[in-house]
Each structure stands twice: as structure tokens, then as C-alpha cells.
Amino acid sequence: MDARAKTIMVVTVYTVLLLTPLVFNSAWAVDCPASSPVDCGGGMCCPIDYPVCCNNNTEFPGCCPQQYPVCCLDAGCYAYAQDCPCPSEQVLGGDDSQLDVLRETRDTRMRSTAKGQLLVDLYYEHAEEIFKILSAHEVLMANAAVVINRIVEKAMLINTGQPVTIDQKLSDSILEVADAIEADASPELKITIKLVKNGIESESIFRELGVPAKKKQ
């Protein structure tokens, strides 16, 4: 390559590097109106009294107030991530009676131990991703509903101090749903699912609930 060709190449590269950010910025720049002055990027603006941008929620982008800064899949705004509608709530169709049973077990049994609290925290941390995966697979959603209904039956007995055992069929069903969710899960959720599966297979999760070891049927 002669000196003239090298000079042309250098000038061309320099020009491209100089113009690229200008072109990019002009393509994406948005002048937010006075009524919605908060620039969230990507052409989205929020009003001053709803300054939290929820454009990371690709299904329901929107804005939330400062006191409820968590954007959830139901397009609602909540104070904390654990307040978002959870997969069980979505699967059960908002059946309050069944949800109350699960919440009682969560609050009186799971949260009473360090390991149980960890499992609760992990569940809510990945709740939105789990529901997205369930929503994308109709059969998996139906299978999850069957499993959760069985779990509710066991939880009712736990909450009232009645004898409970987790049979092999229910344990296997839980693992099957976990395997199906894991197939589409993010690396972080995969780690959590493996932890839960290990807890089911070793029966340590059942012991956290004060439930005897499962019996083969």
C-alpha cells in the first residue's frame, strides 16, 4: 500500500469514527415534553411524579412513582420485588384461599429458618422469569397448576398441625416441572433450580417444613 492509499484509509477511518456517535445520537435522541421530562432512553419519557423508568419491562413498559419503584410483569408498581404477583398467584388465577394457605406456610415455616428464608428470597428474586417461562408453554403452565394444587393440599395439613408426608409421585412431579423450567432458564435461575432440586432429592426442603421423608407408592 503506497503512502497516498494509506492517507486515504486513515482519513476514511477517522471520519467514520467521528461521525458514528453523531449519527447514533441523532437517531435515538428524544426531546421529552415538559409534562414528562424524565428521559428513560429509547424514546421513552416519564412524568416528574412517576420518575422511575420501567422500560426494562419489555412487555409492559411504563413509569412508577418513587415510593413504588419496582416494576412488575402485571404492569403494576410495588414497593418491593416480593410484592409482585408471584408465579403461584398467576398459575392459580388469583385464588385467594389457596394463596393464603401458601403464604401461611411461607411465613410460619419457611421464614422461621435461615435456609427456608433463603429459598423464599430466591423464589421472589426469580419470580418474573419463572412466570415468563410458564407463560410461554401452555402444557408446562397446566402441569405447574396441578403440582401447586397438590402442594396446597399438603400445606393445609402442615398449617393445621396434621400428619403430612410427601409421596414419591408429588416429589417426582415437582422435579419434572423444575426440569422443564430449567431448560429455558437463565444461568442464574439454573443455579437456583439445581439448589432446589438437590433439596428435594435429599429431602432437606421437606425437613425445613417439618414434614417426614417421602414414601414411595
Mean of all residue pLDDT scores within the chain: 81
Residue 180: which domain range?
85-208
Do residues 72 and 119 both lie within one domain? no
Same domain, 74 and 98: no
For 152-165, b/e burial (b = at least 16 CB within 10 A) is: bebbbebbeeeebe
**How many Cβ atoms are within 10 Å of 203's Cβ, its own excluded?**
15
Query: Which own/partner pairs from 73-77 qualify as long-range (CB within 8 Å, at least 24 positions apart)?
Result: 73/128, 73/131, 73/132, 77/52
HSE, CB side, 13 Å, CA atoms: give it for residue 185: 20
% of the chain residues with pLDDT over 90? 41
93 within domain boundaries? yes
Q: Indicate whether 96 and 182 sit together in one domain.
A: yes
- Are both 142 and 198 inside the same structural domain? yes
* Whether residue 108 sits in one domain with residue 96: yes
pLDDT tens digits for range 4-47? 554 545 445 444 444 444 343 444 445 889 999 999 888 889 99
The domain tally of the chain equals 2
Task: Please tell me the predicted confidence (pLDDT) of residue 19.
Answer: 42
Instruction: Specify if 6 maps to a domain.
Output: no
The predicted-structure confidence for 152-204, as pLDDT tens digits, reads as follows: 999 999 999 898 888 899 999 999 999 999 999 999 999 999 999 999 999 88
